[in-house]
Amino acid sequence: MANILLPISAGFEEVELVSLVDVLRRGGAEVRIAYVDSEFETDLIVGDNGITIKADTSLKNVISEDFDMILLAGGWDNAYSLRDNARVQKLIKEFYNDGKVVGAMCASVLALKKAEVLGSEYTCYPFAKDEVDHEGYREDKMVVTDGNIMTSRGPGTALCFGLEILKRMVGVESYQAVKDGMLLDFCE
């Protein structure tokens, strides 16, 4: 079973977070939502559109060896928090250096840029590409895989991103079962 770490902070993009967690859990992956520590110290995290999600644990309780992938949902405030948080940056680099999969979507690709793990191809939210400021931006793909780095564009691509992660982390059979069951024929 694949174990996936999904750190979040206030201002996360709800559609992305819920879509990723739902698709991955349906397909048999274990997904742990870890809140980025703040002065408020709560596991109830409010998203960009006012929807509250209860995280599974605090990021300070996470041991990278327990996970196969780190995955970042977007949302502007969340993206900046993930980019600027020393613990998140350390984890991204640990996962990358250990050959594990690192994924990000929407504006959270900013955190991958700061961690210096972006490769030759990636995608992100179109309005974030100038701020990411990295060669290799692909606007023609919903999901881009470049070695162990997986990226996706934004809320409308979250289900397809979840499927691609599922295919890689769990397998083609699980991918196909979830794709068929959720009527996701529009995903490549």
**Catalytic residue positions, numbered:** 106
Cα 46 to chain centroid distance, Å, stands at 17
Helix, strand or coil for residue 17?
helix
Which parts of the chain are beta strand (E)? Answer: 3-8, 30-35, 44-46, 52-54, 57-58, 69-72, 101-105, 143-146, 149-152
DSSP label of 104: E
Distance CA 51, CA 100 (A): 31
3-state secondary structure of 64: helix
Reported in sequence order, the residue ranges of 55-135 that DSSP labels E, i.e. its strands, are: 57-58, 69-72, 101-105
Q: Which two tokens stand for residue 185?
A: 């024929």
Tokens 């998140």 identify what position?
88
Q: How far apart are CA 145 and CA 103, in angstroms?
A: 9
